[in-house]
Each structure stands twice: as C-alpha cells, then as structure tokens.
Amino acid sequence: MPERELFAHSRSPQSGCRHRLEDHLRGSAALARAFAEAFGAGEVAEYLALVHDVGKGCCAWQDRLVFHAEPMGKPVGIPHKEAGTVLAVRTVGRQLAAVVQGHHGGLPDQDKIKDVLAELRGAGQDADRAREATGAVAQVVPEILRDDRILPPAWLAGLESPHRRALALDVFTRMVFSCVVDADYLDTAAHFAGAKPRVGVRTDMGELLKRFERRRARLLVRRAASPVDELRERVYEQALTAATGMPGMYVLHVPTGGAKTIAAGGFALRHAAEHGLGRVVFAVPYISITQQNAEVYRDLLDSPEGGEDGPVVLEHHSSVELDEGGGAGAWARLAAENWDAPVVVTTTVQLFQSLFARKPSAMRKLHRLAGSVIVLDEVQALPDRLLIPILSVLRDLVEHFGASVVLASATQPSFWSLAQLEGLSRRGMVEDVTGLFEALRRVRYEWRLGAEATWESIAGEIASEGGDRVLTIVNTTRDSARLHRLLTGVGDGGVRVAAPVWHLSTRMTAEHRREVIRHVRGELAAGRPVHVVSTSLIEAGVDVDFPRVYRAWAPAEALQQAAGRCNRDGRLLEGGTVVVFRPVDGGVPKDLSYKAAMDASAEFFGPDASAPDDLDALGLYYEKRWALQGTDGRSMGEGIQELRRRWDFPAVADEFQMIDNRYAQSVVVIRPGKSDEERDIIESDIALLRGRFPSGPGPLRRLQPHMATLPRHEVAAALRAGLAEPVIGDLVMWRGYYDSVRGLDADDPEDRGGYVF
C-alpha cells in the first residue's frame, strides 16, 4: 500500500478529526493491559487489543470509511476482524483468538475460528485483504508482528485436571475479552467526545471505610431504639472482625432483621482496605433491593463533607440488550455499563447473565470483578437449574482472579454439599448462628392450606381480621393485580378495606416502586393504616415492618424471607403474625426446580411440621430439594459445564438464562404527572441513545428509574399496536396507558383490542 494515513473511525463532531488507526490500537492496548494486570494477563490483553482492528488497514476498508460510512452515517460494512484473528492465533493461541474474532459480534465457538483460519489460508478476497491490512498496519505499528508466543499465566498452565483447566480457560477468556472490548469502547468513545478515555481513578478503600463508619454512627443516633439493636451491633462487629481474614469465600448467615446490609457493607470495605482490593460489588436478586441498598450505601458513602470527588456508588439494574443490528444503533454498544465506580449495586441477574454471556456490551464490565469483593445478597434466590456453573465460576474468581465472595442470606443453602465447592474453605462471619436465630425469632405462623382458600376468601379475611397494617405477598404479577383489585372493591368479590392499599410489582417503574416503598415506610413509622399487595420483590431485604403479613404458599426460604417483613424491629411483645395461604386459583412458576422446592417445602414445613425458620429443617429441605432434581447434575446446569469445557460461547449464552426470556424486556415509561421539564429530560436521553454518535453509559444510567419490565410477547404486541416504539437494542419507549397505582397492568392495558396476538 502506498504511504497513506490509516484511520479507525470517522470524524469526531468535537475535534473534526478522524481517529488514526495507530492511535486507536495503541490506546486500546494500553487500557487493556492496565485492566488485565489485576489477574496477571496484562501482556495477553495488550497484544489482543493491539491487533483487534488490524483488518481496518486495507484500502477497501479505508475507502469505504471515507466515502460511504462517514458521509452517510452508516457502518463500513467490510469485515475487519480476520487479520487480527490470524495474528492472535500465532501469538496467543486459537482459544484466545476468539477475543479478536468476537470483539464486535460476540465470542464465537472454536469451529468458527477454524473456519476463519482455513479461509484466510486461501486466495480469496478476504484473505488478500487480511494480508494487505497486516502489511500496512505493521509499517506504523510494527509490534503486531512477533516471533515469540505470549504464554498464559502460570496458574492456568499449572492446573492438573484437564476439566478444571478447560473451565478456568473459559473464565480467563471471558475476562480478557472484557478487558479488550472495554478498552476498545473507551478509546472509541473518547475520540468522538474529543476527550481522554473515561477511566475511574482507584479509590482509597480505607478512607471510604472511615466515612462509612462515621456516617453509620450518626445514623444509629438518629434511629429510634429497637429491642434488637444489641444483636445487630454484635453481627456488625463480628463481620468487621472477619474482614481481616484472608481473601476467599465467606458466609454471612444472619436472620431477617439482623442488619445484614450494613454488616455486609462494613465487611466488604474493611476487607478491601485490608487486602488492597479495588472495588465492592453488591448483587441482589430483586431490583427493589438494588434500589434500597443503593440508597443506603449512597447515604453512607457519597458526597463527603466538604469533598469534591464524584459519586462513589453506581446503581445498575438495567437489563437492556444492546448488541442488536446496525443502522443508527451501531454505536449503541458504547452506552453499555462498565462498572467504573468503587462501589456497584446491581442484580444477580445482571451479574451472572454477564458472566455467561458472549456479547461485548454485556461483558465489558467483567474485568472489574478481578481483585474485588463480591457480595451476593439473598443467595437463596439463585436458581437451582444454574447452580453448578454459578458455583464453578465463583470458585474460579476466588482462586484465580483475586476476588473475595460473600454469600449472604437468612436462609443459607447447603452449597458446600455440592462438588463445585468441595475443598474450598468456608469462612463464616457469625459465631453462634443458632443462638442468633433463637434471639431474633419474632413471629408466629398460621396456615391456610385447605381447598377453601381462594383469593376472595383471603381478601375477606384481610379486610375483616387483618387489622389496619397488612402486607400480602403473592407469586405472580397477575395475582398481585387481582388481589389489589379485590381489596379496593373492584370487580366481583371485592371487599374494599378501610386503609389505603398500595401495589408493588416489576410492571411499575423503578422510580414508582421506590416512591411507594418510601411512602409505606413513612406511614408505618407514623402508625397510620396502610396495606400493601406485592410480588416477591419486597420480601428479600426490603426494610419494612408490618405487624401482620400474608404470604401465598411458596418455597420455605420465601416464607422465612416474608416473615422478615413482620415485627422486624421486635417491638410487638406477643410477636407478629405470618399467615401462609395456598389459594386454589393462585399462579406459580412451572419449572422443575420450583416444583422440587415446593414439594420439599410441603414435606418439612407446615402446621404439623416445622416452622420455616428451623435451621435443621432447612438443611434437610435443601438436600431433598436438590435430590428431587436428579443426581446427574443435568437439571442443575451440568450441561452448561460441558459446553464451557468446549469453549462454545454461543451455546453457553443460549443455555444460561437466569430468568425466562419471555419476562426480560425493559420499557421506558414517562409516567402521568411528570412535568414538562422532566419529560424533556427523558426524551433527550432517548434521543442521545438513538443518535448518530456514541453517548456513553450516562443516558442509560439516568433512564433506569423510568424502566419497567414486561413479557416480551406483550412488548411485541404493543409495538404492533403503536403503543410502544423502539429505542436501541431491545429497549422500547412505552406510549400507552400506565396506571398510577399498578403500572403496566396486564389486566387493564390501553386499547387491548388493538393488539394482534
């Protein structure tokens, strides 16, 4: 190729300059190396980032950029991954070459790498372009050509078991891929913004711990005294003491109401400060807890007195899929979250779906887990059908990537009875778990499990006997809407209780749920009448305290978690009341693991058996529950392990689904009553996401409070009916009806006849 300046990207709207290919490759390589040093893979990641866009060096790609993509605002449309893939195979091996081949479309399987190599050994157009590009780029970035191979870390080569080594290489590839794509995105976004890459500065965890302790002390002074305060303080002190232990897998087994959130935060910050760990990631099963815990940690950590540093706590629960096809959304992936904050509060779905994904937008944040404290709150909610791969990856993060993992729950599953944690030290934080449970027992159970239990009968009992402050938890969004109607006098069988009745489900926006929870807490604190009907999102960790709780029949851990919302502060001398009912017309999930949990619960818990907070019964329950699902591990994810050992990344991503895809689509809602200014801000962020140039993760972060979740078939129907419109990826903007109480009510949509099913 004649001497000609090579470019990686079109002109920046800020600087007016194109992005030089040499600058992009070296800039991405430097960032990738810095990220991967945390787990001993700096040289590997640096080289893969250095060669990831080498294919852009051919004349055809350069001409297409200048004369087509730039003036028309469209993608170049010429493959550019293959040249770098060949270089990667030569230097780091075929498995890790998947990082380069997949840096746009996602990690491929090994057959794809073999096909690319076979094609490029020939004399076709793609092979010619790859050779031409390599020669041109080598003139300005000569270090892409190496005579020596880059070896993997010694720990990886030293694993004796072929099965363990294959699984470890799967995680290693994912982490390196994360470093490379995050570096690529950051360097690209910086070019278009006319700025330096947005890389968070390492935070002094010791200073954060001091701030946490100082504000916690002030918080305790302001709170009304509770009979359980002494026990909560004991839990906190024991967690801080445990934090001085070596990195590893820790267990925080504390009854509901034991101030687990604060104890976990204190442990994580002190553990990070003691061992030089750079980040704390809190993962919880429900968005409602994400919101609550993020608020707690923001109050304790953000905006220091007189300080000028930015926010410490990043709240991330958006599950928008951004790796969708081209057009104006070609830059959408740059809006993906990369967890560049010292404290991240996210969902377990977001965490594990990303760990087993293959697409860049989902995976760019994974490298932040290396050298971090990962707190998994409410671990009883991890799905049985995925336990084997989840525990396997957690063990690798602890043993090979410098992470410490905390398993926190009032209903700790017997994970160490499974082979994936065999031989791994179990580090407990609380000294006398049994004694703590006895001291914090604050409720009595009543049971309504006969055929006479219906929604109408339960609504009638709540209205006549429940009192003026009642929480009712059900299993599905449809059941929650139905019971809410009954308690507000709508439809046949309605009873209309005297107190205001509030509603909570994922069909409401995150902001709406937060407002309801805040209002309910205020009413409870003031002793005013208040009723709440909710799905299970309220029962695990949400800090509310009702004298009476109704819980639809569910697995034992859910029953105990629901009890944690009853007499939480122990102020009722005679204890609170938890009524467990089994409505004959109630809905429940249909999968095998849920059925096994329900069957095991029926065997060990009930009016003639144990209470759900009996630790011995819970241990037997978990053993029975897992045994009911078979002994070969297939129903608990062993098939995914086999795919991981073959480095079949697409198949793993397809098989590993934390939640059913039918219930996984996010919609942005502008709620009725928003001011013109508020509406304009939301619409502006939507416009930024749809825009021609990358926006970074800012707009998605700001839109999170305005998102609700719907089944995909409902979103598709709304799109066809003109009640929603696409934004980017699978995110849509809702333009239809939103109920001020129940949100996107499945039984009361706007213009239902306009839907085409």
Measured CA distances, 215 to 234, 262, 296, 304, 308 (Å): 18, 11, 11, 10, 18
* Tokens matching residue 646: 């073959």
* Tokens matching residue 386: 């995925």
Comparing CA positions, the residue from 111, 73, 429, 498 lying closest to residue 245 is: 429
Amino acid of residue 356: F
Per-residue buried b or exposed e for 295-332, using 16+ beta carbons within 10 Å of the residue's own CB: bbbbebbbeeeeeeeeebbbbbbbbbbbbbeeeebbbb
Per-residue buried b or exposed e for 486-509, using 16+ beta carbons within 10 Å of the residue's own CB: bbbeeeeeeeebebebbbbbbbbb
What is the DSSP code (8-state) at residue 259? -
3-state secondary structure of 508: coil
Asked if 244 contacts 270 with a C-beta cutoff of 8 angstroms, the reply is yes
Comparing CA positions, the residue from 553, 516, 512, 518 lying closest to residue 536 is: 553
- What gap in Å lies between CA 449 and CA 121, rounded to an integer? 69
Asked if 106 contacts 178 with a C-beta cutoff of 8 angstroms, the reply is no
- What gap in Å lies between CA 730 and CA 689, rounded to an integer? 12
What integer pLDDT is reported at residue 343 of this predicted model? 92
Per-residue H/E/C for 170-217: HHHHHHHHHHHHHHHHHHHHHHHHCCCCCCCCCCCHHHHHHHHHHHHH
Residues β-bridged to residue 280: 343, 373
Cα-flanking dihedrals φ and ψ of residue 444, to 5°? Answer: -120, 150
- What gap in Å lies between CA 733 and CA 710, rounded to an integer? 12
- pLDDT mean for each 10 residues of the chain (757 residues): 81 93 97 95 97 97 94 88 96 96 94 92 90 96 96 87 93 98 93 84 89 92 85 95 97 90 95 96 81 83 62 73 44 60 89 94 93 95 93 97 96 91 95 91 94 92 93 92 89 76 92 94 94 89 90 94 91 92 84 88 95 92 91 87 97 88 78 94 91 74 89 91 90 93 74 30
What integer pLDDT is reported at residue 751 of this predicted model? 36
What is the DSSP code (8-state) at residue 739? B
How many residues are present in the chain?
757
What integer pLDDT is reported at residue 455 of this predicted model? 93
* Tokens matching residue 225: 């005294």
